Structure 1
Amino acid sequence: MPESRDLPHRLDLALRALVGLTGPTVSFTVLPEPESVTEARHFALSRLDGWGGAALADDVGLVVSELVTNALRHSGAPAFARPAPHPVHPVHPCDDQADRRNRADRAPHGSADPLGSAPAAIRLRLLHQAPWLLCGIMDASPEAPRRKEPDYIAETGRGLHLVESFSVRWGWCGLPQGKIVWALFRAP
Protein backbone atom coordinates (compact mmCIF):
# COMPACT_ATOMS: atom_id res chain seq x y z
CA MET A 1 0.00 0.00 0.00
CA PRO A 2 1.69 3.24 -1.08
CA GLU A 3 1.80 6.14 1.36
CA SER A 4 -1.04 8.65 1.05
CA ARG A 5 0.10 11.63 -0.99
CA ASP A 6 -1.69 14.42 -2.84
CA LEU A 7 -4.84 14.06 -0.77
CA PRO A 8 -7.77 16.43 -1.36
CA HIS A 9 -7.18 19.65 0.60
CA ARG A 10 -9.96 19.09 3.19
CA LEU A 11 -8.83 15.50 3.84
CA ASP A 12 -5.20 16.62 4.15
CA LEU A 13 -6.21 19.31 6.68
CA ALA A 14 -8.34 16.81 8.62
CA LEU A 15 -5.47 14.32 8.72
CA ARG A 16 -3.13 17.04 10.01
CA ALA A 17 -5.67 17.90 12.72
CA LEU A 18 -5.98 14.22 13.61
CA VAL A 19 -2.22 13.83 13.98
CA GLY A 20 -1.88 17.14 15.82
CA LEU A 21 -4.82 16.41 18.13
CA THR A 22 -6.46 19.73 17.31
CA GLY A 23 -10.04 20.70 16.73
CA PRO A 24 -12.82 18.29 17.64
CA THR A 25 -10.37 15.38 17.98
CA VAL A 26 -10.49 12.74 20.71
CA SER A 27 -7.77 10.25 21.59
CA PHE A 28 -7.52 6.85 23.27
CA THR A 29 -4.27 5.19 24.35
CA VAL A 30 -4.19 1.51 23.42
CA LEU A 31 -2.44 -0.61 26.02
CA PRO A 32 -0.53 -3.79 25.05
CA GLU A 33 -3.30 -6.08 26.23
CA PRO A 34 -5.72 -8.23 24.22
CA GLU A 35 -8.68 -6.42 25.85
CA SER A 36 -7.50 -3.16 24.30
CA VAL A 37 -9.16 -3.99 20.99
CA THR A 38 -12.57 -4.16 22.67
CA GLU A 39 -11.85 -1.06 24.78
CA ALA A 40 -10.80 0.95 21.71
CA ARG A 41 -13.93 -0.12 19.83
CA HIS A 42 -16.14 0.86 22.80
CA PHE A 43 -14.36 4.21 23.05
CA ALA A 44 -14.96 4.91 19.34
CA LEU A 45 -18.59 3.84 19.49
CA SER A 46 -19.32 5.96 22.56
CA ARG A 47 -17.84 9.04 20.83
CA LEU A 48 -19.74 8.23 17.65
CA ASP A 49 -22.98 7.98 19.63
CA GLY A 50 -22.27 11.35 21.24
CA TRP A 51 -21.78 12.86 17.80
CA GLY A 52 -25.09 11.42 16.54
CA GLY A 53 -23.37 8.93 14.25
CA ALA A 54 -25.01 5.71 15.45
CA ALA A 55 -25.73 4.72 11.83
CA LEU A 56 -21.96 4.23 11.34
CA ALA A 57 -21.50 2.10 14.46
CA ASP A 58 -21.10 -1.29 12.77
CA ASP A 59 -18.67 -0.07 10.11
CA VAL A 60 -16.59 2.08 12.47
CA GLY A 61 -16.52 -0.62 15.16
CA LEU A 62 -15.23 -3.21 12.69
CA VAL A 63 -12.60 -0.91 11.19
CA VAL A 64 -11.33 0.28 14.59
CA SER A 65 -11.06 -3.34 15.74
CA GLU A 66 -9.07 -4.31 12.65
CA LEU A 67 -6.73 -1.31 12.76
CA VAL A 68 -6.01 -1.68 16.48
CA THR A 69 -5.42 -5.43 16.07
CA ASN A 70 -2.98 -4.76 13.22
CA ALA A 71 -1.13 -2.14 15.25
CA LEU A 72 -0.84 -4.45 18.24
CA ARG A 73 0.41 -7.34 16.10
CA HIS A 74 2.72 -5.64 13.63
CA SER A 75 4.00 -2.30 14.78
CA GLY A 76 7.16 -2.77 16.74
CA ALA A 77 9.17 -3.92 19.69
CA PRO A 78 7.56 -5.23 22.87
CA ALA A 79 6.15 -2.42 24.97
CA PHE A 80 7.82 -3.48 28.20
CA ALA A 81 11.27 -3.69 26.58
CA ARG A 82 11.44 0.08 26.23
CA PRO A 83 14.33 1.72 28.04
CA ALA A 84 12.22 4.08 30.14
CA PRO A 85 8.55 4.35 31.00
CA HIS A 86 6.35 6.75 29.05
CA PRO A 87 5.51 10.00 30.81
CA VAL A 88 1.95 10.21 31.99
CA HIS A 89 0.05 12.19 29.33
CA PRO A 90 -2.85 14.52 29.98
CA VAL A 91 -6.07 12.58 29.92
CA HIS A 92 -9.15 13.51 27.91
CA PRO A 93 -12.02 14.19 30.35
CA CYS A 94 -13.91 11.18 28.95
CA ASP A 95 -10.88 8.86 29.09
CA ASP A 96 -11.47 6.33 31.85
CA GLN A 97 -8.17 4.59 31.13
CA ALA A 98 -5.96 6.88 33.24
CA ASP A 99 -5.42 4.44 36.10
CA ARG A 100 -4.65 1.54 33.74
CA ARG A 101 -2.31 3.74 31.66
CA ASN A 102 -0.44 4.86 34.76
CA ARG A 103 -0.11 1.25 35.96
CA ALA A 104 1.17 0.19 32.53
CA ASP A 105 3.75 2.98 32.58
CA ARG A 106 5.05 1.66 35.91
CA ALA A 107 5.20 -1.99 34.77
CA PRO A 108 8.59 -3.55 35.46
CA HIS A 109 10.90 -4.03 32.52
CA GLY A 110 10.92 -7.60 31.32
CA SER A 111 7.25 -8.14 32.23
CA ALA A 112 5.54 -10.61 29.97
CA ASP A 113 3.83 -9.02 26.98
CA PRO A 114 0.65 -11.04 26.39
CA LEU A 115 0.66 -10.08 22.70
CA GLY A 116 4.32 -10.86 22.11
CA SER A 117 4.94 -7.88 19.85
CA ALA A 118 2.88 -4.93 21.07
CA PRO A 119 4.50 -1.57 20.34
CA ALA A 120 5.46 1.05 22.89
CA ALA A 121 2.76 3.56 21.90
CA ILE A 122 -0.48 3.17 19.98
CA ARG A 123 -3.12 5.88 19.87
CA LEU A 124 -6.61 5.76 18.41
CA ARG A 125 -7.70 9.20 17.28
CA LEU A 126 -11.07 10.31 15.96
CA LEU A 127 -12.00 13.55 14.24
CA HIS A 128 -15.61 14.43 13.52
CA GLN A 129 -16.47 17.14 11.01
CA ALA A 130 -20.04 16.45 9.91
CA PRO A 131 -20.84 14.54 7.84
CA TRP A 132 -17.34 13.02 7.93
CA LEU A 133 -15.57 10.92 10.55
CA LEU A 134 -11.83 10.35 10.28
CA CYS A 135 -10.38 7.52 12.33
CA GLY A 136 -6.62 7.02 12.75
CA ILE A 137 -4.33 4.59 14.52
CA MET A 138 -0.89 6.00 15.31
CA ASP A 139 1.96 3.65 16.16
CA ALA A 140 5.74 3.74 16.45
CA SER A 141 6.55 1.58 13.42
CA PRO A 142 7.58 3.26 10.15
CA GLU A 143 6.60 0.12 8.22
CA ALA A 144 3.79 0.48 5.69
CA PRO A 145 0.66 -1.58 6.25
CA ARG A 146 0.64 -4.61 3.97
CA ARG A 147 -2.47 -6.12 2.55
CA LYS A 148 -2.19 -9.90 2.32
CA GLU A 149 -3.74 -12.07 -0.31
CA PRO A 150 -6.70 -13.64 1.54
CA ASP A 151 -6.20 -17.24 2.62
CA TYR A 152 -9.68 -18.60 3.11
CA ILE A 153 -8.45 -21.19 5.61
CA ALA A 154 -6.30 -18.85 7.73
CA GLU A 155 -7.79 -17.06 10.73
CA THR A 156 -5.91 -13.81 10.01
CA GLY A 157 -4.94 -11.70 7.02
CA ARG A 158 -8.22 -10.07 6.01
CA GLY A 159 -8.05 -6.90 8.14
CA LEU A 160 -7.05 -4.33 5.53
CA HIS A 161 -9.51 -5.82 3.03
CA LEU A 162 -12.24 -5.18 5.60
CA VAL A 163 -10.98 -1.64 6.25
CA GLU A 164 -11.14 -0.93 2.53
CA SER A 165 -14.62 -2.47 2.21
CA PHE A 166 -16.23 -0.62 5.12
CA SER A 167 -14.71 2.86 4.77
CA VAL A 168 -15.07 5.48 2.03
CA ARG A 169 -11.29 5.75 1.75
CA TRP A 170 -8.27 4.67 3.75
CA GLY A 171 -4.52 5.07 3.67
CA TRP A 172 -1.44 5.71 5.74
CA CYS A 173 1.10 8.46 6.26
CA GLY A 174 4.58 8.36 7.74
CA LEU A 175 5.22 10.45 10.84
CA PRO A 176 8.53 11.52 12.41
CA GLN A 177 8.16 8.71 14.94
CA GLY A 178 6.06 6.05 13.22
CA LYS A 179 2.93 6.25 11.09
CA ILE A 180 -0.81 6.73 11.10
CA VAL A 181 -3.19 4.39 9.33
CA TRP A 182 -6.48 6.17 8.71
CA ALA A 183 -10.00 5.45 7.48
CA LEU A 184 -12.65 7.94 6.38
CA PHE A 185 -16.41 7.45 6.88
CA ARG A 186 -19.41 9.46 5.73
CA ALA A 187 -22.64 9.51 7.70
CA PRO A 188 -25.65 8.41 5.66
Structure 2
Amino acid sequence: MTVARKTAISPLAAVLGGGLTAAVLDITYAFVAFGLRGVSPARILQSIASGALGKAAYRAGAGSALLGALLHLAIALVMAAVYVAASRRLPALNRRPWLWGPLYGIGCYLVMNYVVLLARFGPRPAPPLEVLVGGVAIHMVGVGLPIALFAARAALSPPLPTASSPPERPSRS
Protein backbone atom coordinates (compact mmCIF):
# COMPACT_ATOMS: atom_id res chain seq x y z
CA MET A 1 0.00 0.00 0.00
CA THR A 2 1.35 3.43 -0.89
CA VAL A 3 0.92 6.45 1.31
CA ALA A 4 0.02 9.68 -0.42
CA ARG A 5 2.41 12.50 0.45
CA LYS A 6 1.21 16.04 0.63
CA THR A 7 3.12 18.20 -1.78
CA ALA A 8 3.90 21.81 -1.09
CA ILE A 9 2.37 24.63 -3.06
CA SER A 10 3.60 28.19 -3.25
CA PRO A 11 2.02 30.89 -1.08
CA LEU A 12 0.68 32.49 -4.29
CA ALA A 13 -0.97 29.20 -5.28
CA ALA A 14 -2.48 29.03 -1.78
CA VAL A 15 -3.93 32.53 -2.13
CA LEU A 16 -5.32 31.78 -5.59
CA GLY A 17 -6.60 28.30 -4.71
CA GLY A 18 -8.07 29.32 -1.36
CA GLY A 19 -9.53 32.57 -2.66
CA LEU A 20 -11.09 31.04 -5.78
CA THR A 21 -12.51 28.11 -3.83
CA ALA A 22 -13.95 30.41 -1.17
CA ALA A 23 -15.43 32.75 -3.79
CA VAL A 24 -17.12 29.93 -5.70
CA LEU A 25 -18.50 28.19 -2.60
CA ASP A 26 -19.74 31.44 -1.06
CA ILE A 27 -21.45 32.75 -4.19
CA THR A 28 -22.98 29.33 -4.91
CA TYR A 29 -24.44 29.35 -1.41
CA ALA A 30 -25.81 32.87 -1.98
CA PHE A 31 -27.34 31.90 -5.32
CA VAL A 32 -29.09 28.88 -3.77
CA ALA A 33 -30.12 30.40 -0.43
CA PHE A 34 -31.37 33.69 -1.83
CA GLY A 35 -32.64 32.04 -5.01
CA LEU A 36 -35.05 30.09 -2.79
CA ARG A 37 -36.28 33.50 -1.60
CA GLY A 38 -36.84 34.63 -5.19
CA VAL A 39 -33.64 36.65 -5.71
CA SER A 40 -31.90 36.14 -9.06
CA PRO A 41 -28.15 35.58 -9.35
CA ALA A 42 -27.83 38.84 -11.31
CA ARG A 43 -29.51 40.74 -8.47
CA ILE A 44 -27.17 39.14 -5.92
CA LEU A 45 -24.14 40.18 -7.96
CA GLN A 46 -25.59 43.67 -8.44
CA SER A 47 -26.00 43.96 -4.68
CA ILE A 48 -22.27 43.26 -4.34
CA ALA A 49 -21.55 45.92 -6.98
CA SER A 50 -23.76 48.36 -5.08
CA GLY A 51 -20.93 48.64 -2.56
CA ALA A 52 -19.03 50.55 -5.24
CA LEU A 53 -21.83 51.95 -7.40
CA GLY A 54 -24.63 52.56 -4.90
CA LYS A 55 -28.22 52.14 -6.10
CA ALA A 56 -27.11 52.67 -9.71
CA ALA A 57 -25.82 49.07 -9.67
CA TYR A 58 -29.41 47.80 -9.85
CA ARG A 59 -30.05 49.77 -13.05
CA ALA A 60 -26.78 48.91 -14.80
CA GLY A 61 -27.72 45.41 -15.95
CA ALA A 62 -25.16 42.75 -16.78
CA GLY A 63 -22.26 45.17 -16.43
CA SER A 64 -22.85 45.72 -12.75
CA ALA A 65 -23.47 42.00 -12.23
CA LEU A 66 -20.05 41.33 -13.78
CA LEU A 67 -18.52 44.02 -11.57
CA GLY A 68 -20.16 42.36 -8.55
CA ALA A 69 -18.65 39.00 -9.51
CA LEU A 70 -15.20 40.56 -9.87
CA LEU A 71 -15.51 42.41 -6.56
CA HIS A 72 -16.66 39.20 -4.84
CA LEU A 73 -13.62 37.37 -6.21
CA ALA A 74 -11.28 40.21 -5.22
CA ILE A 75 -12.62 40.21 -1.65
CA ALA A 76 -12.13 36.44 -1.38
CA LEU A 77 -8.58 36.75 -2.71
CA VAL A 78 -7.81 39.44 -0.12
CA MET A 79 -9.24 37.21 2.62
CA ALA A 80 -7.02 34.39 1.42
CA ALA A 81 -3.95 36.62 1.16
CA VAL A 82 -4.42 37.87 4.71
CA TYR A 83 -4.72 34.33 6.09
CA VAL A 84 -1.81 32.95 4.06
CA ALA A 85 0.40 35.85 5.18
CA ALA A 86 -0.63 35.34 8.81
CA SER A 87 -0.03 31.60 8.56
CA ARG A 88 3.52 32.21 7.32
CA ARG A 89 4.21 34.24 10.49
CA LEU A 90 2.11 32.09 12.87
CA PRO A 91 2.82 28.46 11.99
CA ALA A 92 0.29 27.25 14.58
CA LEU A 93 -2.42 28.24 12.09
CA ASN A 94 -1.10 25.57 9.72
CA ARG A 95 -1.02 22.80 12.31
CA ARG A 96 -4.77 23.02 12.95
CA PRO A 97 -6.49 24.35 9.81
CA TRP A 98 -9.71 22.52 10.74
CA LEU A 99 -9.93 24.74 13.84
CA TRP A 100 -8.42 28.03 12.70
CA GLY A 101 -10.05 28.08 9.26
CA PRO A 102 -13.65 28.07 10.53
CA LEU A 103 -12.72 30.62 13.21
CA TYR A 104 -11.18 32.79 10.51
CA GLY A 105 -14.40 32.38 8.51
CA ILE A 106 -16.39 33.73 11.46
CA GLY A 107 -14.00 36.66 11.64
CA CYS A 108 -14.44 37.32 7.90
CA TYR A 109 -18.22 37.23 8.31
CA LEU A 110 -18.10 39.68 11.21
CA VAL A 111 -15.74 42.08 9.43
CA MET A 112 -17.77 42.04 6.21
CA ASN A 113 -21.17 42.43 7.87
CA TYR A 114 -20.41 44.58 10.90
CA VAL A 115 -17.49 46.70 9.69
CA VAL A 116 -17.41 46.95 5.88
CA LEU A 117 -21.15 46.92 5.15
CA LEU A 118 -21.93 49.01 8.22
CA ALA A 119 -19.38 51.63 7.15
CA ARG A 120 -20.67 51.64 3.55
CA PHE A 121 -24.44 51.45 4.09
CA GLY A 122 -24.99 52.38 7.74
CA PRO A 123 -27.02 50.39 10.24
CA ARG A 124 -29.27 47.69 8.82
CA PRO A 125 -31.96 45.62 10.46
CA ALA A 126 -30.86 42.33 11.96
CA PRO A 127 -31.13 39.50 9.41
CA PRO A 128 -33.59 36.66 9.95
CA LEU A 129 -32.05 33.89 12.06
CA GLU A 130 -31.77 31.45 9.13
CA VAL A 131 -29.89 34.06 7.08
CA LEU A 132 -27.53 34.77 9.98
CA VAL A 133 -26.88 31.07 10.69
CA GLY A 134 -26.44 30.26 6.99
CA GLY A 135 -24.10 33.21 6.48
CA VAL A 136 -21.91 32.27 9.43
CA ALA A 137 -21.91 28.58 8.43
CA ILE A 138 -20.85 29.22 4.82
CA HIS A 139 -18.10 31.54 5.99
CA MET A 140 -16.84 28.87 8.40
CA VAL A 141 -16.98 25.90 6.02
CA GLY A 142 -16.90 27.50 2.57
CA VAL A 143 -14.61 30.47 3.12
CA GLY A 144 -12.34 30.07 6.15
CA LEU A 145 -11.76 26.33 5.93
CA PRO A 146 -10.64 26.11 2.29
CA ILE A 147 -8.41 29.14 2.75
CA ALA A 148 -6.80 27.54 5.81
CA LEU A 149 -6.35 24.19 4.06
CA PHE A 150 -4.60 25.82 1.10
CA ALA A 151 -2.45 27.86 3.50
CA ALA A 152 -1.44 24.68 5.33
CA ARG A 153 -0.31 23.16 2.01
CA ALA A 154 1.79 26.25 1.35
CA ALA A 155 3.37 25.88 4.79
CA LEU A 156 5.12 22.78 3.49
CA SER A 157 7.28 25.07 1.32
CA PRO A 158 10.26 26.99 2.74
CA PRO A 159 9.39 30.19 4.63
CA LEU A 160 9.67 33.51 2.85
CA PRO A 161 12.85 35.47 3.56
CA THR A 162 12.40 38.36 5.96
CA ALA A 163 13.90 41.80 5.63
CA SER A 164 16.38 40.94 8.40
CA SER A 165 17.58 37.67 6.86
CA PRO A 166 20.35 37.86 4.28
CA PRO A 167 19.65 36.43 0.83
CA GLU A 168 20.94 32.93 0.22
CA ARG A 169 24.17 32.73 -1.76
CA PRO A 170 24.53 30.13 -4.45
CA SER A 171 27.01 27.45 -3.48
CA ARG A 172 30.19 27.13 -5.52
CA SER A 173 30.77 23.66 -6.80
The normalised TM-score by structure 2 is 0.32
| Structure having the larger proportion of residues in helix | 2
| Structure having the larger proportion of residues in strand | 1
The normalised TM-score by structure 1 is 0.30
Bigger Cα Rg: 2
